[in-house]
A = this chain, B = another copy of it.
């Protein structure tokens, strides 16, 4: 994957949020960086400030904490999604988790500094405000559903939900089961038991 092709893919996906005309794109593009992350390399580590928001052109990443020496995976992002330790990026305070490439991953990234520069740029400011708004709103909606599921559902129900939605099936297919367990808020052993329970009940 070369940088120009990555930019073209990003530009196409960006249209969901804002559509730049040629003149705007020429101003916009130099603010972008092209980054390649080898498998198992970190996009961000705890204690450091997240300087970039990334768009995944190819590959995938996982978010995880380390607690009592154990890695606890909380989230995943795939192709055509954005990736950042968003709180850290927005507030420029240290991240509390890792983000790690699950496979060789190509990203288009925007630094916080460039983001601020574009917001202050008369030619781009308006559309960048809109981009930032729609991006935050998109993740807000995901999180609202996620919090809601922790409040109102059992781990078993959360697992069944995952089976029933398309993005859930993508996660189930592409991720090892112990990542999914932590994503659901339980241990791998417990998820294995839940799966057995479901198998037996529906046999």
A67 interface hit (Cβ, 8 Å)? yes
A90 interface hit (Cβ, 8 Å)? yes
Q: Pick the contact of A65 from B90, B96, B148, B185 — CB < 8 Å?
A: B148
Complex Cα–Cα for A73 and B133 (A): 28
Complex Cα–Cα for A91 and B126 (A): 22
Complex Cα–Cα for A185 and B186 (A): 13
A22 interface hit (Cβ, 8 Å)? no
**Contact A72–B152 (Cβ < 8 Å):** yes
CB-nearest residue of chain B relative to A67?
A: B152
Partner-contacting stretch, out of A30-38, A139-147, A190-198:
A139-147
Contacts of A141 in B (CB 8 A): 86-87, 90-91
- Please indicate which of the listed interface residues A65, A125, A129, A132 has the most CB atoms of chain B within 10 Å of its own CB: A129
A151 interface hit (Cβ, 8 Å)? yes
Complex Cα–Cα for A145 and B97 (A): 11
**Contact A150–B86 (Cβ < 8 Å):** no
Q: Which of A87-112 contact B (CB under 8 A)?
A: 87, 90-91, 96-97
Complex Cα–Cα for A152 and B65 (A): 8
Shortest Cβ distance from residue A158 to the other chain B in the assembled complex, whole angstroms: 10
A182 interface hit (Cβ, 8 Å)? yes
Q: List 5 A-B contacts (CB under 8 A).
A: A86-B141, A87-B144, A87-B145, A132-B133, A133-B133
Q: With contacts A74-B148, A129-B129, A130-B133 known, what are 8 further pairs, Cβ within 8 A?
A: A65-B152, A67-B152, A87-B145, A90-B141, A97-B148, A126-B126, A133-B136, A146-B147
